[in-house]
Amino acid sequence: MIQKLIFKPAGVLLGALLLTGSLVTSVFAEVKEVRLAKQYGLSYLSMIVMEEQKLIEKHAKKAGLGDIKVSWNTFSSGSVMNDALLSGSVDFASGGVAPLIKLWDKTKGEVKGVAAIDTIPLYLNSNNPAVKSIKDLTDKDKIALPAVKVSIQAVTLQMAAAKLFGQKNYEKLDKLTVSMKHPDAQAALLSPKSEITAHFASPPFMFQELKDPRVHTIVNSFDLLGGPHTFDVIWAHGRFHDANPKTYAAVYAALEEAIAFINRDKRAAAELYIKASKSKESVEVIYGYLTKEPISYTTTPLNITKYSDFMYQTGSIANRPKNWKDLFFSNIHGKQGS
């Protein structure tokens, strides 16, 4: 039996092809703008390099995404970052390990880390000569940190309290804490008229503060955790990760290139930091921080689980990550993290 050939009008065929094409485009199209947020200080140097050298734009074009718009914002704390990420105001947030862990738990793993961005200690500096350690702090002392209870500084303070006063008393010093941006906290600590007597700081602020003879360090997080640990990370929502694989990969590739640039030429990185942050310190001083202080830039997470374990034990999170990989997307699972 010879089947009849059915011919459709050209207009119908064209319409079908256009419809199919539009469906394919809608399925595979990625965002034309990617929005990132960073915070203050030298720990965000890799993100500053990404912005100044337009590395995301470079890798997006290399991936065939064309000219995409990259928007940058600067926030004061990881908790503000999390609000912005959940509201859809930003696509990539960055900050201390604790806010990532908190949001991972809150979203049941929908939000995950993209990568670490540094390995840097946190210093709790004090201008009170009577305070030699946290056991000497009294109700007359006020400790400035980015966000009460939720920032990595706040959680590190709780870990220090738990170690000294016992696990049940991990919140003993929380009543002394005040939420402040690092630049404002530094200014307050160095002012003779401020009520702020301590600042749980990050670089360069913690190093700058120690140049004042009145200021001394009472907690070093590397000592507290028994070795180096990740300070800052970048994180994103799974929806963005899944819907924009090429854009996500471009951001990660840009981060890797930025870190390679810093590690290859720290003096050039110092010059770029001063230009972008409008720092009043000299290139030599910033270069000194990058070469003489315990600062390193890497995408490998380190000692993340010490924070997640503590946060789970104290009830700050309801779900305990099995390991550090639970907290991150698969692009860095090949790293030797912890």
Average pLDDT over residues 223-237: 96
- In the chain the domains, ranked by start, together with CATH numbers, are 31-120+230-332 (3.40.190.10), 123-225 (3.40.190.10)
Q: Write the single-letter amino acid at 1.
A: M
pLDDT in tens, 103-151: 999 999 999 999 999 999 999 999 999 999 999 999 999 999 999 999 9
Name the residue among 205, 204, 273 with its Cα closest to residue 49: 273
Neighbours of 168 (CB within 10 A): 9
Tens of pLDDT, residue by residue over 8-60, are: 444 444 444 444 444 443 346 899 999 999 988 899 999 999 999 999 999 99
Provide CB contacts within 8 A for 3, sequence distance 6+.
none
- Rounded to an integer, what distance in angstroms lies between the CA atom of residue 30 and that of residue 105? 27
Contact 231, 120 (CB under 8 A): yes
Provide the whole-model pTM: 0.88
